[in-house]
């Protein structure tokens, strides 16, 4: 099966197409490949994106799709008009593992050194324990600037990492584990992203969403299938960690998993190692593992076993941000997105666009950061579409 199908908003399609063209990437329709299946194998997976929207207008969607998709190169990217989302989620359920919205702002983070080979990259992980005293000061300052609100947690976290560094050197504390609770969109996952950025990570954060790991076979998917079994030989968790360059793992929606995986992570926190089904180890000495959950403080002891609860070094509960903190978040995100856009597309947006976008966003109308982040991206894209159209 193919990794994922991304759905775009047709109102933004021309803008997205222009952005890709600046990267030397062309968006083409799947139609030619349907007329002649041999064309599928000639696609350049690094410089062409396939729009499969035309599939919605043919008979035998599932049959034709299952015939042509295996012929495309492995890393080919597929997109479609979100007007066909419901249709494709059903008809193409055997072709794609995941169906997601195309996030145009995320596309600004252009990857220059695409991985041509299918081999995993062996990267050196930047760890909190390897930083000098001066670097730790810079790290804590950078982290605090990237997190809005949650002042108690920021103070607690600074003390946590300083203690962790001391006892790790004494050989008494291998992994720093943090469990964060609270409603969706209050900034729990932002903690992991802020740590990753403050460690100057250049690759992707090692993140696994446990909302996808509730089945009985979830452990095999996470750490790899035993020899002789069909499926992933490596496992998502090992791939994510090997592909990251910081000593940090984010386990999102941890409560949605099962007892088997809870026990696996109990062993990880006790021994400081991840072991695959093939008995291959990754030494996590010096790593930070962030576990996030939408459960309440009252449900925490009901859902998580006493043995596992005792292994978490820190347990925190996040609440909604204040209006003041939400405004700070908007200013930071808009600044960050503008920098990414200017860097990725060798352009210079007018300085006034920052204030224009910030003034258009009424933070009082949004309860959580996820909703706020979405409106920031939408507002940015609409304004940049106007600017780029005027400049042509």
Q: Which residue has the higher pLDDT, 311 or 233?
A: 311
pLDDT value of position 347: 78
pLDDT for 140 beyond 70: yes
Alpha-carbon gap, residue 106 to 244, rounded angstroms: 17
The single-letter DSSP state of residue 257 is S
- The span from the CA of 82 to the CA of 364, in Å, is 29
pLDDT of residue 83: 95
What global pTM score does this model have? 0.73
Alpha-carbon gap, residue 224 to 378, rounded angstroms: 38
Phi then psi dihedrals of residue 191, to 5 deg: -60, -45
Average the pLDDT over 38-45 and give the result.
Answer: 91
Please provide residue 375's backbone torsions phi and psi, each rounded to the nearest 5 degrees: -70, -30
Partners of 77 in beta bridges? 49
Q: How far apart are CA 332 and CA 337, in angstroms?
A: 9
**Arithmetic mean of pLDDT, 2-26:** 91
């Amino acid at each position: 099966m193919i990794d994922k199908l991304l759905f775009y908003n047709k109102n933004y399609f021309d803008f997205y197409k222009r952005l890709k063209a600046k990267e030397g990437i062309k968006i083409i329709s799947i139609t030619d490949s349907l007329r002649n299946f041999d064309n599928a194998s000639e696609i350049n997976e690094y410089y062409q994106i396939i729009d499969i929207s035309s599939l919605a207008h043919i008979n035998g969607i599932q049959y034709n799709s299952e015939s042509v998709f295996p012929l495309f190169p492995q890393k080919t990217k597929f997109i479609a008009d979100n007007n066909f989302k419901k249709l494709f989620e059903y008809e193409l359920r055997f072709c794609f593992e995941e169906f997601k919205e195309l996030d145009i702002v995320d596309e600004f983070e252009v990857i220059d050194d695409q991985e041509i080979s299918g081999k995993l990259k062996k990267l050196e992980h930047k760890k909190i324990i390897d930083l000098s005293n001066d670097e730790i000061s810079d790290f804590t300052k950078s982290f605090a600037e990237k997190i809005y609100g949650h002042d108690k947690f920021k103070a607690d976290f600074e003390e946590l990492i300083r203690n962790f560094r001391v006892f790790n050197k004494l050989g008494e504390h291998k992994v720093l584990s943090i469990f964060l609770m609270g409603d969706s969109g209050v900034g729990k996952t932002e903690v992991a992203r802020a740590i990753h950025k403050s460690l100057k990570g250049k690759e992707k954060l090692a993140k696994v969403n446990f909302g996808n790991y509730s089945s009985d076979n979830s452990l095999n998917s996470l750490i790899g299938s035993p020899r002789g079994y069909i499926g992933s030989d490596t496992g998502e968790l090992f791939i994510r960690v090997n592909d990251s360059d910081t000593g940090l793992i984010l386990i999102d929606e941890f409560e949605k998993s099962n007892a088997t995986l809870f026990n696996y992570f109990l062993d990880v926190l006790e021994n400081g190692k991840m072991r695959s089904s093939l008995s291959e180890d990754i030494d996590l000495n010096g790593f930070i593992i962030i576990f996030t959950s939408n459960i309440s403080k009252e449900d925490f002891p009901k859902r998580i076993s006493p043995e596992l609860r005792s292994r978490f070094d820190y347990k925190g509960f996040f609440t909604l941000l204040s209006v003041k903190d939400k405004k700070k978040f908007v200013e930071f995100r808009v600044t960050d997105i503008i920098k990414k856009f200017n860097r990725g597309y060798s352009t210079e947006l007018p300085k006034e666009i920052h204030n224009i976008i910030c003034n258009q966003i009424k933070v009082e109308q949004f309860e959580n950061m996820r909703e706020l982040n979405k409106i920031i991206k939408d507002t940015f894209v609409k304004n940049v579409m106007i600017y780029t159209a005027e400049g042509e």
